[in-house]
Amino acid sequence: MIDMQQTKIKVNFSRVLGTPLVPLCARAKISKEYSSLFNDAKAIELIEQIDYDFLTLEKSSGDYLLFATAARAMQFDNKVKAYIKEHPHASVVNLGAGFDTGFYRVDNGAIHWYDLDLPEIIEVRKHLLPEMNRTACIANSFLDPGWCQAIKNENGIFMIAGGLFRFFDEAQVRQFFSLIADRLPGSEIVFEAESKSSNDVDGRCGAYGAGWSDEEPEKRDAMQEDCIRALKNGWTILPQSLKSQMIGALTTSTRPQSAEWDDFETWWDQLSAQEKGEAMSDFFFGFTCKCPLEDASEMVAWDDRITVVDQFPLFRDIPRDPSLSMSVRQFMDYTDEKGRIKIVHVRV
The mean per-residue pLDDT over the stretch 60-81 comes to 91
Of the listed ranges 156-165, 281-290, 310-319, the one predicted with least confidence: 281-290
User: Which range is least confidently modeled, 49-53, 85-89, 214-218, 324-328?
Assistant: 214-218
Q: What is the mean pLDDT of the chain?
A: 86
pLDDT of residue 216: 67
Residue 16 has a pLDDT of 55
Has residue 4 got a pLDDT over 50? Answer: no
DSSP run (H or E) holding 234? helix 217-235
List the domains of the chain with CATH numbers.
87-98+109-197+296-347 (3.40.50.150), 203-285 (no CATH)
Pairing of strands 112-117, 188-194: unpaired
> How far is the CA of 213 from the CAs of 109, 218, 235, in angstroms?
48, 9, 27
209-218, 274-283, 320-329: lowest mean pLDDT where? 209-218
What are the backbone angles phi and psi of residue 3, rounded to the nearest 5°? -140, 125
Rg of the chain (C-alpha set):
20
- Chain segment 200-237, per-residue pLDDT in tens: 444 344 433 444 555 567 766 776 777 777 778 778 76
Q: Say what the pLDDT of residue 12 is.
A: 65
Q: Which phi-psi region, left, alpha or beta, contains residue 38 (left: φ > 0; alpha: ψ -120 to 50)?
A: beta
Span 171-177, mean pLDDT? Answer: 97
pLDDT at residue 259, rounded to an integer? 87
User: In this predicted structure, which of 75-79, 112-116, 263-267, 282-286 has the lowest mean pLDDT?
Assistant: 282-286
Spatial contact of 134 and 151, defined as CB atoms under 8 Å apart:
no
pLDDT band at residue 2, thresholds of 50, 70 and 90? Answer: very low
Instruction: Judge whether residue 173 has pLDDT over 60.
Output: yes
Q: What is the mean pLDDT of residues 50-72?
A: 84
Predicted local confidence at residue 140, as pLDDT:
97
What is the per-residue pLDDT for 18? 58
The larger pLDDT score, comparing residue 115 to residue 233, is at 115
CA distance 129 to 164: 20
Sign, CA torsion 327/96/135/8: negative
The residue-averaged pLDDT of 176-185 equals 98
Q: Tell me the percentage of the chain whose pLDDT exceeds 70.
A: 85
Residues 134-172 have pLDDT tens digits of 999 999 999 999 999 999 999 999 999 999 998 899 999
Question: How confident is the model at residue 208, as a pLDDT?
Answer: 38
Using alpha carbons, select from 299, 279, 281 the residue that is nearest to residue 193.
Answer: 299
What is d(CA 172, CA 165) in angstroms, rounded to the nearest whole number? 9
Q: How many CA atoms lie within 13 A of 97 on its CB side?
A: 31
Q: What is the pLDDT of residue 204?
A: 40
